[in-house]
A and B are shown apart, each in its own frame.
Chain A
Amino acid sequence: MNNRIKITFWLLFAMFALLIIHIGYFTFFEADEVINNPYNLRLSASEGSVKRGNIEDINGVVLAESIQEDNGFVRSYNYPRMYCHVIGYTGVGKTGVEAAYNARLLDLHNETLQKFLYILTNKVFKQGKFSLADMGIYQSNVYAADIFDFEPPLSDDDVLSGGGVDADVTTESLTETDIYENSEIDNEIKDIYNNPENMQGADLDSIANDGYESENNFFAPLKDGYVLTGNTVVLCIDNRIQQKAFELLGERKGSVIVSEVDTGKIKAMVSYPNYNPETIAENWEYLTNDNENTPLLNRAAQGLYPPGSVFKIGMAQLIIDTGNRDMTYNCQGVNKFGNKTLRCYNETVHGSEGLTDAFKNSCNGYFAKAGIELTNDRLITEALNLGYNKDYDFPLEHSVSVFNLTEESDNSELADTSIGQGKTMTTPLHINMITSSVANGGTMYVPQIAEGIKSPSGRMIRKFKPEEMGVVMSKETAAIIKGLMREVVTSGTAQGANSDIIAIAGKTGTAENGTDNDHIWFTGFAPYDEPKYAVTVMLEYGGRSSKTVNIAKDLLEYIAGLE
């Protein structure tokens, strides 16, 4: 019986071991993500005491920072409108990176040390007295004053400037006070004290005034009481590219995305109309009720549009994969499929053509025929494989592209869907992801917005890894489509993007939307030989697709010039 008792309790104790492992695993690996939840009230509570961390671009340009004011911290954005959809806002709720990395921005690196310094400088020693300037000049007095909790009488200057918080004012005013006259400081120190620039203390003082900028001085942040500072979130975005994209898009409704093809890192993401996150609280009513312009919407990741001809990238893949590369079609400009009439752009007659010509001329008839002949179940599989109707782990607010073909759909719907019309709706970000997977040989990556986390002192403490969504096409197919997309630029619909500086490949798109002005697309990558960047430009009601082609060309040329 004893053995059975032992067996039983070894099993029960193994359950407790499991419990301990589970709690440990949760604390080390899951807690960070779990606590970053709007329902966790602790985060908003710590917002009052912790200085929210900075947000920087990949080169260290500060995009957002918190500034301490009398009644707490105020969030300040250095490029408010340029980044409003990426970084988002904080205050009236949170969006964008501010929401997705809320816990990281409030997380304290070296929490024990930071809290210890904070308590020591703010709670134990009273604020303003435990200052480096004081320590440098008359050390013993500072300690004495602290120990006996002694407040030096305030001079007029002090009262006017609101107490001895500012180190410069303290130094000035204390000259006139009685304490130091009466205390037994020798003349030498008195001299130095009256001419602070003569001695070391003055240097210390100025260093201390620099505050966070002077990283060499460990005690600098202690001057006016240590401030608990959250971690910095480093974005993948390159500020220069973002700036250029912002300028190129100008005041046209639409969005521009630049990403790295073999990691999925977002290098730029701009959307217009935009808003100013600094004044969002004042303009809240207006911004939320502007249904025509919807400035709060990040069109790049949340906007759902018919993809139009850019969907033909996926169709080309389907045609190649099913071995129908040699298919030909005789385009009449206006083509009839049953009771459905499809017009090519400007009703151009393309004549008899193969895949290459059809792709570069963006012939609707060819792809509609291909779509009908390949039947809908293959189309559905293809779309799902490319990431339609499937959510992905992108930390910012985003929509999921919709593909709505069913087994019962008729030929006219099939034809519509094959040329990117019908009920298919796509986000520009998703088109960008598809372009990247063509460019990198078939792997689709989850778009990545944050490069890593930096401690307040500027050391990278965590790097995020690119995350694969899976292989969406074979290397061979990707290489063929790459060639097709290059043809589009050299001799097809996107000849405007034929640049001397950088070899661009891409695909244009015009998507009917029920108005006279079509939505226009361009998605492409460059350089053609060794693709690095994928660019997707989308303009709402833009008219002619050459506008998007020009933006993409200028942007890619600018990027080429950076390197």
Chain B
Amino acid sequence: MTELLIFISKYVFIILMFIFCLQSKYLVSKGRNTNKRADEGAYAVRLQRMTIVLFHVLAYATLNFNSEIPVEDYMVTAAGGLVLVVFAPVLIGLVYNRINGLAINCMYFLMDISLVILQRLDPALALRQMVFFFMGTAVILIIYPILRYFKKFYELKYFYLIVGFALLLVTIIFGTNVRGATNWIRIGQFSFQPAEIVKILFVFYFASVFCRNTDFRDRVIQMALGFAFVALLVLQRDLGSALIFFMTFIIILFVSTGSLFFTFSGIGLAGLGAVMAYFMFSHIRVRISAWIDPWSDISNKGYQISQSLFAIGSGGIWGSGLGKGYASTIPIVETDFIFSAICEEFGVLFAIFMIFVYMTLFYCGVRSALNTRSRFKAILASGLTGLLCFQTFIIIGGVTKLIPLTGVTLPFVSYGGTSVVICTVIVGLLLWIYVPKTEDSHIKHGPDDVREPVRRKKRVRENINIPDEAPLRRRVRRHDDE
């Protein structure tokens, strides 16, 4: 019977994933993912959450009957995961003033996929990952009051800069070497990756710099600082993070200044640096040669990427069924290569839908950036979304051999405390920035608005008859005037 359950469930997973994507499509196109009122949008959001619950229940049932998978901590993770998926969004809805239900659903769906695949790979890790998810949820609940009542984030640029550099320098001096990169700091039992925290400080710093007018000299200085961050990460041999930081910087630079000269000169300089690094560091050459032809040296250089491709190829479109893959052959499967394990067991179709879920999440981030009236917040949201976006791209592209492999985590899915908490915080920040379009659009742009004028006249006329206009206007003004 177990075999039959696994066999049928793999198709049901894909169907559930498909339904989730359809519901996302509905919420995106209707623009109903906007506020907490008990309207059609909120109902659709709750319906979408049901899909996640169904996925969770079915996946854990399948895992339960599969005798080949260890069952230790099974009930704790199964029940805890259910609690997380059902109650965490509700709690966030209670604490946050406005929420984007779609973004929250996407995030918790990805978290649930992570729990399921980790439960299948290593139950102990699934339990810890669940704790990290709860921690992440707790953190974004706790930081909200600070975000709400402390309004001077754009004035703390030296704080971000100094703390960011200090953390990276401390990592270089006291860091522990894990798989070739010196990017962990261990304090007693507790260890974390400072680069993950610096990600947020980095975006905050450049957002606070570029929300003001900058002249040529400022931009040159900021670019030098941006490259300094990247250089410190390259020194840690954390190439993946270096790439993410650099792309985030370019996105912020382009979005805020619109200067093509600086954007392309930045990319040009980075290209030059990459070529120099290629000839200076042997480990970069190894990565590149493993990318170009992993098959000539499968047992050594090309081992990781070839095992990943074996997994993806063997799983095929429909997957092998949950628990039926050979995940133990994939190296570093809990973190970097978790996407390959998902491809193998859930199927490539499921994995492609999962990429759509990521894209929906990033779409919500872009919505935050577009809707907010504050220039600082718009840059911040673009930077944070771009960061997550690029991180997702380079790890999925890396394990599928589209681009050379650089070891970073897949947001929300890879095992790892720092990564999970930071990614959750980023989504929390995007939720904080998020303003529903309907609330914002009928407000005139005052002289205190640092943002460039946006053409919204047509929409203003359309939405002018919103029933409870007054309270909404107050609320928006209170939080978005910087």
| Residues of chain A whose beta carbon lies under 8 Å from any beta carbon of chain B | 1-2, 4-6, 8-9, 12-13, 15-16, 18-20, 22-24, 26-27, 30-32, 34-35, 37, 39-42, 45, 111-112, 115-116, 119-120, 123-124
Q: For residue A33, give the distance in angstroms from its CB to the closest CB of chain B.
A: 9
Q: A302 to B436, alpha carbons, bound, how many Å?
A: 71
Label chain B's interface by main secondary structure: helix
- Is the pair B329, A42 in contact by a Cβ cutoff of 8 Å? yes
Known: A20-B352, A34-B309, A35-B314. A41 touches B393 (CB 8 A): no
Chain A residue with the shortest CB-CB distance to B317 = A27
Q: For residue B18, give the distance in angstroms from its CB to the closest CB of chain A.
A: 15
Q: A474 to B14, alpha carbons, bound, how many Å?
A: 56
CB contacts (< 8 Å) of A13 on chain B: these are 359, 362
Q: A6 to B298, alpha carbons, bound, how many Å?
A: 42
- Is the pair A26, B400 in contact by a Cβ cutoff of 8 Å? yes
30 contacts between A and B (CB under 8 A): A1-B454, A4-B255, A5-B369, A6-B366, A8-B255, A8-B382, A9-B362, A16-B355, A16-B393, A18-B402, A19-B355, A19-B397, A19-B402, A20-B352, A20-B355, A22-B397, A23-B400, A27-B312, A31-B312, A32-B313, A35-B313, A39-B298, A39-B306, A39-B307, A40-B310, A112-B318, A119-B4, A123-B1, A124-B3, A124-B4
Q: A9 to B365, alpha carbons, bound, how many Å?
A: 10
Chain A residue with the shortest CB-CB distance to B351 = A23
- Is the pair B7, A119 in contact by a Cβ cutoff of 8 Å? yes
Q: For residue A1, give the distance in angstroms from its CB to the closest CB of chain B.
A: 5
Q: For residue B235, give the distance in angstroms from its CB to the closest CB of chain A.
A: 27
Chain B residue with the shortest CB-CB distance to A120 = B4
Q: A9 to B358, alpha carbons, bound, how many Å?
A: 13
- Is the pair A9, B313 in contact by a Cβ cutoff of 8 Å? no
- Is the pair B390, A23 in contact by a Cβ cutoff of 8 Å? no
8 new A-B contacts, CB < 8 A, other than A8-B251, A23-B400, A119-B7, are A5-B378, A6-B370, A19-B393, A27-B317, A119-B3, A123-B4, A124-B1, A124-B4
Interface size classification for chain B: 35 or more
| Residues of chain B whose beta carbon lies under 8 Å from any beta carbon of chain A | 1-4, 7, 251, 254-256, 258, 295, 298-299, 306-307, 309-310, 312-314, 316-318, 326, 329, 343, 348, 351-352, 355, 358-359, 362, 366, 369-370, 375, 378, 382, 385-386, 389-390, 393, 396-397, 400-402, 451-452, 454
Q: For residue B373, give the distance in angstroms from its CB to the closest CB of chain A.
A: 11
Q: For residue B346, give the distance in angstroms from its CB to the closest CB of chain A.
A: 13
Q: For residue B457, give the distance in angstroms from its CB to the closest CB of chain A.
A: 14
Known: A16-B359, A39-B306. A30 touches B313 (CB 8 A): yes
CB contacts (< 8 Å) of B378 on chain A: these are 1, 5
- Is the pair B393, A40 in contact by a Cβ cutoff of 8 Å? no
CB contacts (< 8 Å) of B312 on chain A: these are 23, 26-27, 31
Q: A26 to B306, alpha carbons, bound, how many Å?
A: 13
- Is the pair B355, A1 in contact by a Cβ cutoff of 8 Å? no
CB contacts (< 8 Å) of B3 on chain A: these are 119, 123-124
Looking at the complex, which one of B316, B390, B396, B400 makes contact with A12 (CB distance below 8 Å)?
A: B390
Looking at the complex, which one of B352, B369, B370, B452 makes contact with A23 (CB distance below 8 Å)?
A: B352
Q: For residue B122, give the distance in angstroms from its CB to the closest CB of chain A.
A: 19
Chain B residue with the shortest CB-CB distance to A39 = B298
Q: A16 to B361, alpha carbons, bound, how many Å?
A: 13
Q: For residue A57, give the distance in angstroms from its CB to the closest CB of chain B.
A: 29
Q: A31 to B329, alpha carbons, bound, how many Å?
A: 17
Looking at the complex, which one of A5, A34, A39 makes contact with B255 (CB distance below 8 Å)?
A: A5
Known: A23-B351, A39-B310. A8 touches B254 (CB 8 A): yes
Q: A108 to B316, alpha carbons, bound, how many Å?
A: 12
CB contacts (< 8 Å) of B295 on chain A: these are 37
Looking at the complex, which one of B313, B355, B389, B454 makes contact with A31 (CB distance below 8 Å)?
A: B313
CB contacts (< 8 Å) of A31 on chain B: these are 309, 312-314, 316
- Is the pair A1, B451 in contact by a Cβ cutoff of 8 Å? yes
CB contacts (< 8 Å) of B343 on chain A: these are 23
